[in-house]
Structure 1
Amino acid sequence: MATVSNSAAVSHVGKIRSNNQDSGYSGRHLFVVADGMGGHAGGDVASAIATKRIVEADQDYRSPQDAEFALQAALIAANSQLAETVFEHPELTGMGTTVSALIVLEDEVAIAHIGDSRIYLLREGVLSQITIDHTFVQRLVDSGRITEQEAMVHPRRSVLMRVLGDVEASPEIDTSILATFSGDRWLICSDGLSGVVSNVGIAAALKSDLDAQAVADRLVKESLDGGAPDNVTIVVVDIGTGAERVDLPTVVGSASAPLAFGEEPGRSRALRMSSLRLHPVRETHFEPDSQDYLSELIEEDNRRARRRKITWLVGIILLVLAIVGAAVLGYRWTQTRYFVGVEGSTVAIYQGIQQDLGPISLSSLYEDTNLEVSELRVFDRQQVEQTISASSLTDALLIVERLHDASVQ
């Protein structure tokens, strides 16, 4: 029977943001990453509220189906709690959070997911992304409008289409039940990791012989080395066999601190909102039923069509220029060569090479020497009739001079 043999949770503010809006949890059965949105006004609050509520689902279950239902119910309850918080504290309007969570129950895992945090699985050295991002650009990728590479730099890559927050009473949550085996390594992370470190880099870290804590620390470092423009939260879960571990639950990120927001004694809203970032950061935001979605798809198609036409046109122009350039250079080279041959009944010097390119001759008469072919020795006459190559004009003149001297003798 497979069990959780090792796990770790790490969260880092990153190099640019002024506060940590992520939360993470590594428990007995339950593992969660939540990435808050809404800026300094509420992202940290949203992820903390959601995580604290979802943590209540870290219990024993009779079946994976029970665990799946409990996890989904916990996310819905967290969504309601966020809506109530916004109602009581209007200054937090617009806050929300992504959530990616899994419960390990013997040989199976129950998964619940909303937003763009991710769950990965490393099995037998192969990394798989288990969850699908609920983002605007992912819809464009799924519909074939853009490629994965284009999605990485798309101007609306930070737009979320589904989150927990104060907008929808019953948000659509992806849930599933998957088998897990001894040797599996699960990774839950915020986009602070997946948006900076490539899948190749993530796989390399997960495939190492390091324990869960060391792997999580390594991935955080790689994100920091890549600039870490966003908060980074990572939960690593190793599946093994034998007795379950007895580690204490670990809470990281904003959920690890006392929840504090709104007008409170000793902490005014003005003070809470006054923190400034040292550098501009692209904020994640939520557009549940974006009215611009269809027009954006059409415009994206038009942009791709224009890019394809421009790319083809530029490619054709470059190819033509390359062919013309090669032809010009090749022709110029042929005109540096000479050969001695026959012009009518006399010996002549030709510029170029003894070949034609279709209807185009690559040689021309340079000089008629007035030396009669009939006056040449038999051997020299045969050579001239077959043409004698010369590396330069000087060489050609020397050949004619030798033929002339031999004919006189």
Structure 2
Amino acid sequence: MAIVTVSAAVSHVGKIRSNNQDSGFAGETLFAVADGMGGHAGGDVASALALKRLAEIDGHYNSAVDAEFALQEAIVAANAVLTETVYEHPELTGMGTTLSALVRVGHSVALAHIGDSRVYRLRDDVLTQITIDHTFVQRLVDSGRITPEEAKTHPRRSVLMRVLGDVDAAPEVDLQVMDTRPGDRWMLCSDGLSGVVERDDIEKILKNNIAPKDAANALIKESLDHGAPDNVTVVVVDVHQSFESPEATPVMVGSAAQPIAFEKPAGRRPTRMTGIPGLRLHPRGPASTEPSHFEPESDDYLDELIEEDRRRSRRRKVTWLVGVLVVLALIAGGLYAGYRWTQTRYYVGESNGTVAIFQGVQQTVGPMALSHVFQETDIPTDALPPFNQRQVENTISADSVTAALEIVKRLSDAAASGVADSTDGDGTSTGTPPPTPGPTTTPNGTAP
């Protein structure tokens, strides 16, 4: 049985941008995604030219190492094509493109990557991101300066550290060879998907047992449901084992699928660029609300970005500290207001064996009591009738200091007379003392 692949490529302009600057390719053994940058009239040119040059290496290789070498040569050549295109068309200065590609050779794949498009692998229902973004925020994440969650909303998340284009004649490309096996599902995408849809949602869709075309369309729809502020391109590749090798028809999507033809600038003689396919430039339209990719041109710019990030971090810490202080102030204010209210309450209880008036409430907060002795009396608690002793031990609440003094006066009278005074919680007396036992009689009806 032979190892075969079944693939699909889908691209969508999204909901914000007016033209598609992404390109995608699904061939016999080569699969790739490119995300153009450089403005309305440059990004589509860059991604299309790079992917068309790369598509020329789609074919069979003796080993994954040979395929890796072919990828490297093709990417260097694509970068040269972009440089020459800018020379012939100065209006495209600054254009560039990301590029993520893989070539399957038997049980192995050769991968090439530059920029922030991504390659994922789903194996045993576990999704793994294979490539690492060449972005400014990823560098901050790697150095521990920000978290991956903060990177999603960082104002410089679109700044690319590495791309193909006219900036660097020898761009640094990540190359690697990995194993693959039947059951693996590979997915390549532009950041129009990975920057909008959460990883768990991508994994959930790829885990569905559906055809690559259906999976790619479902991922595009998920991005559109999240607003799709950028172009979205997805290539899904399933690895199978089969007795037959199905014929694969190469598919180009996005800007690379459009008719291409450069117009010669007036008054300029033809040069070697006339043999390079060109792309009809789209008319300029209103600028997108999303920032396009940007590559820093000097170390000074990076230093400025790093310093700006430091300032942003300091502002974030100050804001957090102020917020904590405000919350603590509100809590402290609430506690103080509550404590002040407790000090408007009084009750009568026992202190050092005598009746006393307490200010506050009969509660504690941790080790702190919410009441204290307001006034002691000279009424011994053991001089009170048993009923009133129990009342004082359990405390008698009073609404005011006047009510508390009234309770003390009644208790003093009860201690002097030996008759219990029934005082309720608000300091008033019911006027009904507890019943006293009557005389006992003998069985013959006479008093003892």
Residues of 1 paired with 2:132 and 2:70: CA distance? 21
1:124-160 Cα deviation digits (max 9, x unpaired): 1211111111112222222222222222222222221
Read off the aligned partner of 2:261 and give its amino acid letter.
A
Whether 1:352 and 2:352 are equivalent positions in the alignment is no
The count of aligned residue pairs is 402
Look up the SS of the partner of 2:132 in the other structure: coil
Instruction: Give the match for residue 309 of structure 2.
Output: 300
For residue 312 of structure 1, the aligned residue among 321, 328, 339 is 321
Structure 1 stretch 108-117 or stretch 282-291: which is displaced more?
282-291
Greater relative CO (CA pairs within 8 A, separation 6+): 1
Report the counterpart of residue 121 of structure 1 in structure 2. Answer: 121
Pairing partner for 2:348 from 318, 340, 348: 340
Q: 2:255 matched to 1:254?
A: yes
- CA deviations on 1:136-194 (whole Å, 9 max, x unpaired) are 22222222222222222222222212111122221111100011121111110011111
Hey, what's the Cα distance between the residues in 1 that align with 2:332 and 2:56? 70
The answer for the alignment partner of 2:156 in structure 1 is 156
Matches within 5 A, 1:4-403: 4-242=4-242, 243-263=244-264, 272=281, 274-277=283-286, 279-329=288-338, 331-332=339-340, 334-335=342-343, 338-342=346-350, 347=355, 350-354=358-362, 362-363=370-371, 373=381, 376-384=384-392, 386-390=393-397, 398-399=424-425, 401-402=428-429
Cα distance, 1:377 vs structure 2:
1.5
CA distance, structure 1, for counterparts of residue 200 and residue 65 of structure 2: 33
8 Å contact from structure 2 (residues 396, 424) kept in 1: no
Cα pair distance change 1:288/1:181, threshold 3 Å: farther
Greater alpha carbon shift after TM alignment, 298-307 vs 123-132: 298-307
The share of aligned pairs that are identical, in percent, is 51
Q: Residue 234 of structure 1 aligns to a residue in which SS?
A: strand
CA deviation after TM superposition for structure 1 residue 380, in Å:
2.5
Partner Cα distance (1:122, 1:273) in 2: 37
Q: What amino acid is the match of 1:406?
A: P
Summarize the Cα distance change of 1:284–1:8 in structure 2 as closer, same or farther, 3 Å threshold.
same
The Cα of 1:275 is off from its aligned counterpart by 3.1
Q: 1:158 to 1:361 in 2, by over 3 A?
A: closer
One-letter code aligned to 1:13: V
1:318-353 per-position Cα deviation (integer Å, ceiling 9, x unaligned)? 235424423532x25645765332478875554423
Distance apart, 1:251 and its partner CA: 0.8
Structure 1: how far apart are the matches of 2:334 and 2:157? 42
Pick closer, same or farther for the CA change 1:367–1:236 going to 2, 3 Å. same
- For 1:207-253, what per-residue CA distance to the aligned partner results, in whole angstroms no more than 9, with x for missing partners? 11221111100111111111111111100011121133323111111
Give the match's secondary structure for 2:81: helix
Whether the aligned pair in 1 keeps the contact of 2:7 and 2:213 (CA below 8 Å) is yes
Change (3 A) 1:167 1:372: closer
Distance 1:309 1:366 in 2: 45
Distance change (3 Å), C-alpha of 1:152 and 1:344: closer
Are the equivalent residues in 2 in contact too, given 1:376–1:403 (CA < 8 A)?
no
How many angstroms apart in 1 are the aligned matches of 2:36 and 2:122? 26
Give the CA deviation at 1:279: 4.8
Distance 1:43 1:349, change over 3 A: same
Instruction: Give the TM-score, by structure 1 length.
Output: 0.87
State which drifts further: 4-13 or 230-239: 4-13
Which is further off, 188-197 or 294-303?
Answer: 294-303
What whole-Å deviation, never above 9, does each CA across 1:49-103 have from its counterpart, x for those lacking one?
A: 1111100111110000000000111111111111122222222221111110000
RMSD: 3.2
Change (3 A) 1:348 1:129: same
For the structure 1 residues 366 and 9, does the alpha-carbon distance in structure 2 shift closer, same or farther, using more than 3 Å as the test?
same
Is the alpha carbon distance of 1:205 and 1:277 closer, same or farther for their aligned partners in structure 2, counting shifts above 3 Å?
farther
8 Å CA contact 1:3, 1:240 repeated in 2: yes
Whole-Å separation in 1 of the counterparts to 2:358 and 2:248 = 92
Structure 2: 5+ residue stretches without partners: 267-279, 408-422, 437-448
Q: TM-score scaled by structure 2?
A: 0.80
Task: Report the Cα distance in structure 2 between the residues aligned to 1:217 and 1:108, rounded to whole angstroms.
Answer: 27
TM-superposition CA deviations, 1:267-316 (whole Å, max 9, x none): xxxx9564313753312122254422123224423432443344235324
